[in-house]
Structures are given as structure tokens and as C-alpha cells.
């Protein structure tokens, strides 16, 4: 079967032996790249005991042929694929990403991994999306299972390159245009998987047990799909496709055109779900694998490098001390020259600063009389405005029956108004109107006196005096409006 896919592994090798094994069946296939195509050149299938060390040699014997690739991959249900939500990881070292993925994977794995056993993990490539939080396709299995598989392949004369989950990687088979928005369904080993692909990345992965009845299986597929196009990975049961016709599912990889219209069936040596064997040639953004070899510690943590460093430490220390001393002497000389130059600059700056301070003090002293004059001017201007407002208010309150003889401001701030009116009611109205003047706000009328007096021609008038405010000290004339009786 051919899958038109690009491959990150093609730079390293163009042919691989793919092994898919579970407790009951083992499939082996020689997968090669021919241009942009991936083809299965040989394939064999046989029963399995669940012990890979015993099943693998028997499957290779059934495959036949003298020449086969030494590089191999393993597809196994013991590896679990999940989609994790991770923070930005583009700038993180591989060790930190591995620790993060291992921590997030532990709840999804059972058995030894959850009981404290070591965990081996791998993850896909987030590409340009790695600089922001988002989904990450990852997979893992116990380190013991990884080591067991690597040893079984070694005994069979093969070099295990990677371990892939049986379900969860089929989204990598989609071409780039179809991977922008799709739901990929996989069905294998009594389980069903749905991968939601958006913008070329797997954003969600759901795994569940698959019902045995085709109708129930179709309903389960409907429950895992949303409004996106549905793709069924690999050759699918015709009954399942018929029961899911309302989803308009597409199949991938697509078969090449054939001369006959009869639907071909897989041969006895061909895996019906052969696409998993081509996963080694899939885009790294939509596939996750566990490396067969444990990740080596950084160079500075390897025992051989540490022993070499310890042996060379005395010589390195002697050379280092000499280099450090010479460097410090040169640095000290350069620093002394720079320091002397800085001292000269600072001395000149200090002298200039003192001269500026003397000029500033002289200017400040010359400004004192100006500030005093400005303050007096501001005070006089304010009093003038207040006085004009007061006189306007008094003038508006006066009438033909009231004559104002004096308006005085007393030292305590009170205002005394003296005048003559024809009637007491005129005095009361005048006092009320004057008290409403804005200039007398906060100065209510106090100590009003009214005296009745008779004129030369027998006329009667009322002399009055009223204060606005609380001052009782001798008055100081603010304005004197004198008039006759």
C-alpha cells in the first residue's frame, strides 16, 4: 500500500522493517520510499504468544528473503498516545520537555508506570506553535517495556529505532491540505481512536473500547465526530462505512486506480491496516514515537568526561590561575588609568558645580524682593476684587428709601454698614439683601441696631448700624459713603 507522505526520517534511511505486535498477532513489513511514495515491499503475518523475543524470529522467518533492512520500528498497544496541553516549549531544553511530558503522561498509564516505575516518552514537533501554549501529541510506555523490546530486536539482528503507539498516529497519514481540518478515525485491537486535526496539528485525541456490533461501532464513531470532515484511516470494514454513510467518510491512504472494479482483499501476508507500517515516514508534527535508546545525559554529566576533567584538573587549575592572574593585572592597570581619568573629570565637574551653586544663590537672593512685591500685588488685587464685589452688593441692596452712609471693614474681618432708612421694614429688607451678597458669604449679620430720629421738618427716619461677621474691635474704614440726613 502506498502513502504519499513527506518524511523526516528519509534523511537517515529510506527503508525500514515495520513490526506491529500485540498479544495475539504479529505483522512484519518491509517499507521503503520511492520518490514521494511509501510502498510496502514485503509483508507477513502470524500468530503471536505475546513474547516478542519468541514471536519476532518466527515472523522474520515467515517474511522470507535474504536481504532486509536492519533498521526497524515497533508498533505496539503497550505505547499510549495522548494529547497534552503544555506551556511554550520552543526555548526549553530537551531534558525539561521530557520531564514535563513524563509528568503529564503518568496519569494516563497504568501498571508499573503509575506504581513508581520509570517511564519512557516521546512527543511530536509543534513547529512554529512551540512559542505559545497549546496541544502536544505525545506517547509513552514503561522503560522496562522499551528495554525489553530493544533487546528482542537486538537478538533478532535488528536495530530498533523507535516505538509507536498502535492507535493515535494515523493523523500523520493525511496530506497537508486534508490536515487543516479533519477528524481521523482508527479501529484496531478492539479499540477506537478519534484524532481531531486543526491547522496541521493534532489538537485532541479520544481513545475508547470499540463495540463489537458494526451498528454500535458506527454510532460510537458518530459520537466522536464533530462538524469536521471525517477520514477513516486504512482499509475499513464495508459494513462500518455503510453504517456511517451519513458522515460522508473518506478513507486514507487512497488506493491507486486499478483496472478491475472488484474490491481487492488483503492477501494472506498483507496487513489489512498496513498504514501503521508507514508511520516512520510521516510528518513529525502529527506523529509521536518513543526512542528505543535512552536519552544520554549531557556531555558534562557523562562519567568518562567527568573522569577526564578530574584527571586534568591540577594542570587546568595551574593554567587557569596563571591566566586569571595575568588577566586581573591587565584589568587592574586599565582600571587605574580609567579611574584617574574619571577623577579628573569629577574634580572639574565639582568645581563647575560649585560655581553654578554660587550663581544660583545670588539669583535666589535677588528674587526675594520680587516675590514679596508679587505677593503684595496679588493680595491687593484680591482685596480690590472683593471690595468691588462688596460695594456692588450694597449698592444693589440700597433703594430710594435707604441711604448708606458708611461701609467699613473691621480688623477682625467683619464688615460694618451704617445708613438711614425711612421705615424699619426698609432696614430689614436692606440687611437681608446685603447678607445675600457673595462677598459676605460666611459672614451673617450680627448686632444690628435701629434708632428712630426726627428731622428738622418733622419727618421721621431710622438710623441703623449692622455688622456682618463676629469682629468687635475698633473699625477700620474700607469705604465711606457719607450722605446727609
Element (DSSP H or E) covering residue 315? helix 313-397
Q: Higher pLDDT residue, 186 or 137?
A: 137
Of 41-45, 188-192, 257-261, 324-328, which has the strongest mean pLDDT?
A: 41-45
Q: Cα separation of 348 and 342, whole Å?
A: 10
Residue range 267-298, pLDDT digits in tens: 333 333 344 445 555 556 688 889 988 766 65
Predicted pLDDT at 151:
96
Cα-atom radius of gyration of the chain, to the nearest Å?
50
Residue 353 CB neighbour total at 10 angstroms: 10
Cα distances from 162 to residues 12, 372, 431, in angstroms, run 13, 91, 106
CA atoms within 13 A on the CB side of 237: 13
What whole-number percentage of the chain has pLDDT above 90?
A: 11
Predicted pLDDT at 480:
41
Q: Cα separation of 128 and 216, whole Å?
A: 40
Average confidence score pLDDT of the chain? 76
User: Cα 182 to the chain's mean position, in Å?
Assistant: 27
Element (DSSP H or E) covering residue 475? none
Predicted pLDDT at 57:
92
Residue range 179-225, pLDDT digits in tens: 788 888 887 777 888 888 888 888 888 888 877 666 666 677 767 67
Q: Cα separation of 171 and 164, whole Å?
A: 13
Residue 170 banded pLDDT, cuts 50, 70, 90: confident
Q: Cα separation of 181 and 197, whole Å?
A: 6
Whether residue 324 is predicted with pLDDT greater than 50 in this model: the reply is yes
Residue range 60-85, pLDDT digits in tens: 999 887 678 999 999 998 999 998 98
> With contact defined as beta carbons under 8 Å apart, do 278 and 10 qualify?
no
Residue 423 CB neighbour total at 10 angstroms: 13
Q: Please list the residues that pair with 187 across neighbouring strands.
A: 192
Q: Specify the residue for cell string 479520544.
A: 206
Query: What is the chain's length?
Result: 485
Amino acid at each position: 500500500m502506498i502513502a504519499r507522505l513527506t518524511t523526516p526520517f528519509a534523511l537517515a534511511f529510506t527503508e525500514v522493517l515495520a513490526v506491529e505486535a500485540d498479544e495475539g498477532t504479529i505483522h512484519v513489513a518491509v517499507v521503503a520510499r520511492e520518490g514521494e511514495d511509501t510502498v510496502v515491499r514485503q509483508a507477513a503475518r502470524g500468530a503471536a504468544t505475546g513474547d516478542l523475543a519468541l514471536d519476532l524470529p518466527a515472523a522474520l522467518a515467515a517474511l522470507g528473503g535474504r536481504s532486509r533492512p536492519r533498521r526497524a520500528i515497533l508498533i505496539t498497544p503497550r505505547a499510549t498516545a495522548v494529547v497534552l496541553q503544555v506551556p511554550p516549549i520552543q526555548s526549553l531544553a530537551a531534558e525539561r520537555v521530557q520531564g514535563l511530558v513524563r509528568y503529564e503522561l503518568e496519569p494516563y498509564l497504568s501498571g508499573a508506570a503509575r506504581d513508581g516505575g520509570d517511564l519512557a516518552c516521546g512527543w511530536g514537533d509543534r513547529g512554529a506553535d512551540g512559542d505559545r501554549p497549546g496541544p502536544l501529541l505525545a506517547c509513552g510506555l514503561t522503560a522496562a517495556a522499551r528495554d525489553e523490546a530493544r533487546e528482542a530486536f537486538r537478538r533478532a539482528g535488528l536495530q530498533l529505532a523507535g516505538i509507536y503507539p498502535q492507535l493515535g498516529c494515523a493523523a500523520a497519514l493525511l496530506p497537508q491540505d486534508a490536515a487543516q481540518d479533519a477528524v481521523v478515525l482508527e479501529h484496531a485491537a478492539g479499540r477506537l481512536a478519534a484524532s481531531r486535526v486543526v491547522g496541521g496539528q493534532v489538537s485532541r485525541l479520544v481513545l475508547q473500547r470499540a463495540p463489537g456490533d458494526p451498528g454500535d461501532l458506527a454510532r460510537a464513531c458518530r459520537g466522536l465526530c464533530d462538524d469536521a470532515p471525517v477520514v477513516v484511516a486504512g482499509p475499513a470494514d464495508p459494513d462500518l462505512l455503510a453504517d456511517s454513510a451519513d458522515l460522508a467518510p473518506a478513507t486514507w491512504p487512497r488506493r491507486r486506480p486499478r483496472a478491475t472494479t472488484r474490491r481487492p482483499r488483503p492477501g494472506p501476508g498483507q496487513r489489512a491496516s498496513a498504514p501503521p507500517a508507514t508511520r516512520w515516514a510521516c510528518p513529525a508534527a502529527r506523529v509521536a514515537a518513543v526512542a528505543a535508546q535512552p536519552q544520554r545525559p549531557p556531555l558534562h554529566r557523562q562519567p568518562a568526561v567527568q573522569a577526564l576533567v578530574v584527571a586534568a584538573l591540577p594542570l587546568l587549575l595551574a593554567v587557569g590561575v596563571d591566566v586569571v592572574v595575568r588577566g586581573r593585572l591587565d584589568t587592574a592597570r586599565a582600571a587605574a588609568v580609567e579611574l584617574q581619568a574619571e577623577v579628573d573629570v569629577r574634580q572639574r565637574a565639582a568645581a563647575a558645580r560649585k560655581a553654578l551653586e554660587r550663581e544660583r544663590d545670588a539669583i535666589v537672593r535677588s528674587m526675594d524682593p520680587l516675590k514679596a512685591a508679587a505677593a503684595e500685588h496679588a493680595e491687593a488685587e484680591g482685596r480690590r476684587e472683593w471690595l468691588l464685589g462688596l460695594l456692588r452688593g450694597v449698592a444693589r441692596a440700597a433703594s430710594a428709601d435707604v441711604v448708606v452712609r458708611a461701609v467699613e471693614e473691621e480688623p477682625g474681618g467683619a464688615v460694618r454698614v451704617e445708613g438711614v432708612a425711612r421705615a424699619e421694614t426698609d432696614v430689614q429688607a436692606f440687611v437681608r439683601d446685603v447678607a445675600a451678597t457673595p462677598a459676605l458669604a460666611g459672614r451673617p449679620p450680627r448686632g444690628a441696631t435701629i434708632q428712630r430720629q426726627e428731622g428738622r421738618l418733622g419727618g421721621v427716619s431710622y438710623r441703623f448700624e449692622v455688622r456682618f461677621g463676629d469682629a468687635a474691635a475698633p473699625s477700620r474704614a474700607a469705604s465711606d459713603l457719607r450722605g446727609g440726613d
